[in-house]
Amino acid sequence: MHPIGWDAFGLPAENAAIKRNLDPRAWTYDNIELHKASMRRYACSFDWDRIIRTCDPIYYRWNQWLFLEFYKKGLAYRKNSMVNWCPSCQTVLANEQVVGGACERCDSVVTKKALTQWFFKVTEYADRLLDDLELLEGNWPSKVLSMQRNWIGRSYGAEVDFAIEGRTEPVTVYTTRPDTLFGATFMVVAADSDLAAELVSGSTAEIRMQFQAYLDEVKKSNDIERLATDRDKTGLDSGRFAINPANGERIPVWISDYVLADYGTGAIMAVPAHDQRDLDFARTFGLGVKVVLETGEADPLETGVALTGEGVLINSGELNGLSKAEAISKITGILEKEGRGKAAKNFRLRDWLISRQRYWGTPIPIIHCDDCGEVPVPQDQLPIELPSAEGLDLAPKGTSPLGGAEDWVNVPCPSCGKPAKRDTDTMDTFVDSSWYFLRYLSPNSETEAFSKEEAKKWLPVDQYVGGVTHAILHLLYARFFTKVLQDLGHLDFSEPFTRLLNQGMVLMNGSAMSKSRGNLVKLGDQLDEHGADAVRLTMAFAGPPEDDIDWADVSPSGSGKFLARCWRAANDVNSEVGVDFSKGNVELRKVTHSFLRDFSANIEGFKFNVGVAKLMELVNALRKAIDGSVGPADPAVREAAEVAAIGLSLFAPFMAEEMWSILGHKPGVALAGLPEADPSLLVQDTITAVAQVDGKLRDTFEVSVDATEADLQAAADNSSAVQRAIDGREIAKVIIRAPKLINIVTKQ
RNA sequence: GCCGAAGUGGCGAAAUGGCAGACGCGGAGCACUCAAAAUGCUUUGCUCGAAAGGGCGUGUGGGUUCGACUCCCACCUUCGGCACCA
């Protein structure tokens, strides 16, 4: 099954439609037709009966079904938090859609905003998403695996409770270095955390004012500024004190933006001697530095470089003398026993924010009732179709345009019947693409998202192809969905894509094509100029499929020449269909059959460029045979031409079909199938043996395939080139790999 | 800072540890032609040499090996990802 569909909801389509003052619906469906026509022109052999469009209600009603399944399991939830906000798209963004502090779509600088939003609980699957990457090792590009590992970012450490003076509850911090607990000389709390505000509220009026000013500063800064390296540490003293549970020392509590509110507990124990960031902070504000791990490095206070190496614990009470690993395990045990801490792990991964304040997406199937709260839309009311765009103001304004569709928004509560309102946000389009591969199994079903039976038969996907841009977006989300659906009993496998190929891009003059750069190469123009076959062949021949191709470096006209050469060769064949190949010229037959062996291996190994090269070699041999003593009537010539046509059908279907017809066959070269290579024709009579002296090639000779070591030795003895290279030196050793190689090692 | 990948002719690229550069682009030459185009053939890593024949050559430096583009270590460069994640 090789299906095709359109992931058609989302911002780009909506923005393009708004710009042209069109209904996103009309714009999208028109473009699907255009796109489809150009793909057909390019002769893509998809299964055109299994088309999906994610913006069809018949598709997205199952997004809504899935949402409700997740909701039932507690995997879809709403919370208020600081979220990524794109001021240009006027919508929130998932963490995965913020690239280097900018919006993935429009490159605007992303800011933070406090909003109540829908999330999918990816973090609940963090361990499995990470551990199951093992299953993909070797079949997915290692780059994607490492990007996912990086993104999920699991770390192991401990949570430690610090008592706070004047506060009943202790504050818990997360650390990966509990061994350095005795070296904690202050605590830092994230400036934008609730805890910071609370601690300051119990402090002096002056500190409260300072804090407010600092917080305003922090909130103004955006991600780009935050990401700037070598940024000076900022912060302020909260005026409060904590007690180091290891040694009872009274340590100040500071507030800074270098601690993140949404990672760990939003508060850290600072060990400046052994953490660079803490050291930078301590040096800026003149806080204490206490070395607790003797690593043999110079004093961090003087060098400004924290000690992060291995060593032996010092100044640490009962931990003294232990190694880092021993100390981590011992102190964790002690804290657990005393009920003041425990082993813990943390993830970089955050929950997936899926609500969008835009029109062109799947409506979230929840109704908000003043009395009943969030009420799921009953199954029999699905799909909740998008209201018509007519009369709605689609321009980005920070709240969903669906809010303006009053007839649509105002509905009775399914639970109590009182007037209630639909949720007006739409889902992130990555929800659509997280399960579409399942939908191909039954693209038109009105009774189920996908067929369990068909899934058993077809899935998981054997070979997935996609850009590396999806490494931590689509590919992570699709893996998450698959695992959830497995847990819900809808699927019996845990990984959706068995093998993954990241195809490269077509560049022009060294960079990705873009309108603004003006380095656009239009497929349509190339097809007009060279034809689909030549363009396809050029793509395949240019290099490995995972590499980028610079269109400036390739030669579609060269491909055209090769195709013409194939066509002429087919025309020159001068024998009848069905002629007995076994009577043909053996030399040419050997070429044809070793092609059959090599070509299949190349194609199956995704080395299409090498496959094309082999095809060229075959056609070159065919040309020589026709023009030379073999002649166009030899059965081997027909055999080679037919094999070439079948091989070519993978890359240049039109020319291959033409050749097939010229060769007197009924249409259907693509279905002909490559014949098996005849083993008897793969056997070589002679082979080129190489003779080396001290590992350097000195001579080659044609020898029989069953040449013995003695034969090779004799040949080397008779070779003047070999003898000249030995130059009378004493022979130390002779390595012979009959029949291919002899290496004579001389005493130096 | 951390993680990862890649460095081979003028260019795109090939090469189970065993003839480096297959195949193609570009270049040069020859044939066909009145001529050109098209086509076919030859040639084309660098370098010394008239030639025969040498030397050098897969980012750099080491190592393993009879033998390294390939395996190991260090470094350089480029690209990609993450990044104040405690």
Asked if strand B contacts A159 at the CB level, meaning under 7 A, the answer is no
Nucleotide B19's nearest residue (CA vs C1') is A690
CB A618 within 8 A of CB A644: yes
C-alpha A628/C-alpha A486 separation (Å) is 64
Among A100-104, A121-125, A592-596, A668-672, which is the least confidently predicted range? A100-104
Residue A223: the pLDDT is: 61
Give nucleotides in strand B with any atom < 7 A to a protein C-beta: 1, 3-5, 11-15, 18-20, 22-26, 38-41, 53-55, 66-68, 80-86
For residues A8-20, average pLDDT: 88
pLDDT digits 0-9 by tens, A334-389? 999 999 999 999 999 999 999 988 899 999 999 999 999 999 999 999 999 999 98
Asked if strand B contacts A233 at the CB level, meaning under 7 A, the answer is yes
Assigned token pair, A702: 């044609």
- Hey, is A494 helix, strand or coil? coil
CB A506 within 8 A of CB A519: no
Nucleotide closest to A177 measured between CA and C1': B86
pLDDT band for position A226 (cuts 50, 70, 90): low
CB A177 within 8 A of CB A275: yes
CA–C1' distance A733–B49 (Å)? 33
Which residues, in sequence order, are CB contacts of A491 under 8 Å at separation 6+? A438, A452, A455, A459, A482, A485
pLDDT digits 0-9 by tens, A503-514? 998 888 877 777
Which residues, in sequence order, are CB contacts of A249 under 8 Å at separation 6+? A185, A243
CA–C1' distance A225–B79 (Å)? 24
Q: Tell me which H or E stretch contains A36.
A: helix A24-41
- Whether the pTM exceeds 0.90: the reply is yes
Which chain A residues in 296-335 sit with Cβ < 7 A of strand B?
none
CA–C1' distance A139–B58 (Å)? 28
Length of chain A in terms of residues written: 748
Residue A222: the pLDDT is: 65
Residue A718: the pLDDT is: 86
DSSP-assigned letters across all residues of A533-602: HHHHHHHHHSS-TTS-EEGGG--HHHHHHHHHHHHHHHHH--S-TT--GGGS-HHHHHHHHHHHHHHHHH
Is residue A636 over pLDDT 80?
Answer: yes
pLDDT band for position A227 (cuts 50, 70, 90): low
CA–C1' distance A150–B2 (Å)? 10
Which chain A residues in 19-48 sit with Cβ < 7 A of strand B?
none
Q: Which residues pair with A463 in a beta bridge?
A: A499
Which is more confidently placed, A91 or A533? A533
CA–C1' distance A630–B84 (Å)? 75
C-alpha A82/C-alpha A91 separation (Å) is 13
Nucleotide closest to A735 measured between CA and C1': B66
Amino acid, res. A108:
S
Q: Tell me which H or E stretch contains A200.
A: helix A194-201
CB A651 within 8 A of CB A538: no
The rounded Cα A640 to chain-centroid distance in angstroms is: 41
C-alpha A265/C-alpha A261 separation (Å) is 7
pLDDT digits 0-9 by tens, A531-554? 999 999 999 999 999 999 999 888
Nearest Cα neighbor of A570 from A650, A682, A651, A669 is: A669
C-alpha A66/C-alpha A433 separation (Å) is 12
CA–C1' distance A274–B28 (Å)? 67
Asked if strand B contacts A547 at the CB level, meaning under 7 A, the answer is yes
Residue A492: the pLDDT is: 94
pLDDT digits 0-9 by tens, A588-613? 999 999 999 999 999 999 999 999 99
Nucleotide closest to A226 measured between CA and C1': B84
For residues A461-482, average pLDDT: 91
Nucleotide closest to A263 measured between CA and C1': B85
